[in-house]
């Protein structure tokens, strides 16, 4: 019997914990909330709180190896890209271009977690991890395009740079002058 009473008491406590909430709107528009019925009050349903579950942590690559030792092991592995090329090629010249396409070619392809920093004349272009960018408009002069690729620990894996030239002759340039008409014609 005592056991049955304890079970009923426990059930009532659980019902009270998840019980109904009541609300009453006063004459001045304010609301009064209660966990007990009240004159003029209406039961309302309160949704459960939003929760978040953290993603599970990937198991270490080497079973039984503490995470600090695994990190040191990962940092000890030196990776470099076999090839890291940038375009336009060194000293390439463009005459009156509407645009110039910058690009980075990697072999093997970009690894997850590596960070690309593509720059034109020292300013970052293309956004995060951009391997290409279209320069439009292109101003005359010599421009430098650089790329630096680092791993998640900040170690340099690849870097390259190239200078290219943009030539835009003026209207007074001898190359833009009308050709003389042949005599006698």
Range of the domain at 119: 83-167
Instruction: Let me know if residue 131 belongs to a domain.
Output: yes
* Residue 153 confidence (pLDDT): 79
d(CA 44, CA 22): 6
Instruction: Let me know if residue 10 belongs to a domain.
Output: no
Question: E-assigned strands of the chain?
Answer: 21-25, 31-34, 42-44, 83-87, 92-95, 100-107, 115-120, 123-124, 132-135, 141-150, 156-167
Residues 39 and 87 occupy one common structural domain: no
Instruction: Let me know if residue 67 belongs to a domain.
Output: no
pLDDT tens track for 107-144: 999 888 889 999 999 999 988 888 999 999 999 999 99
| Global pTM value | 0.53
Residues 36 and 89 occupy one common structural domain: no
Instruction: Let me know if residue 60 belongs to a domain.
Output: no
Instruction: Let me know if residue 113 belongs to a domain.
Output: yes
Domain count, the chain: 2
Q: What is the mean pLDDT of the chain?
A: 80
pLDDT tens track for 44-58: 887 777 787 777 665
Residues 28 and 104 occupy one common structural domain: no
d(CA 151, CA 115): 6
Pairing of β 92-95 and β 156-167: parallel
d(CA 123, CA 102): 13
Share above pLDDT 70 across residues of the chain, in percent, rounded to a whole number: 73
pLDDT tens track for 134-171: 999 999 999 999 999 998 878 888 899 999 999 988 76
Residues 159 and 108 occupy one common structural domain: yes
Instruction: Burial-class residue 39 by CB neighbours within 10 Å (0-12, 13-18, 19+).
Output: exposed
Q: Residue 91 belongs to a domain with what CATH number?
A: 2.60.40.10
Helices (H), the chain: 2-17, 67-76
d(CA 161, CA 82): 16
* Residue 173 confidence (pLDDT): 61
Residues 98 and 163 occupy one common structural domain: yes
Contact 146, 139 (CB under 8 A): no
């Amino acid at each position: 019997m005592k056991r049955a009473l304890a079970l009923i008491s426990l059930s009532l406590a659980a019902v009270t914990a998840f019980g109904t909430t009541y609300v009453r709107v006063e004459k001045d528009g304010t609301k009064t909330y209660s966990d007990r019925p009240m004159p003029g009050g209406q039961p309302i349903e309160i949704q459960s709180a939003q929760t978040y579950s953290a993603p599970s942590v990937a198991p270490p690559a080497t079973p039984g190896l503490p995470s600090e030792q695994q990190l040191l092991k990962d940092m000890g592995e030196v990776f470099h890209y076999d090839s890291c090329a940038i375009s336009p090629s060194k000293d390439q010249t463009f005459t009156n271009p509407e645009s110039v396409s910058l690009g980075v070619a990697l072999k093997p392809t970009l690894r997850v977690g590596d960070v690309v920093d593509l720059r034109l004349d020292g300013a970052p272009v293309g956004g995060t991890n951009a391997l290409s960018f279209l320069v439009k408009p292109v101003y005359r002069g010599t421009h430098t395009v650089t790329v630096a690729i680092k791993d998640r620990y900040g170690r340099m894996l690849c870097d390259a740079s190239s200078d290219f030239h943009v030539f835009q002759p003026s209207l007074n340039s001898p190359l833009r002058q009308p050709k003389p008409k042949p005599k006698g014609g």
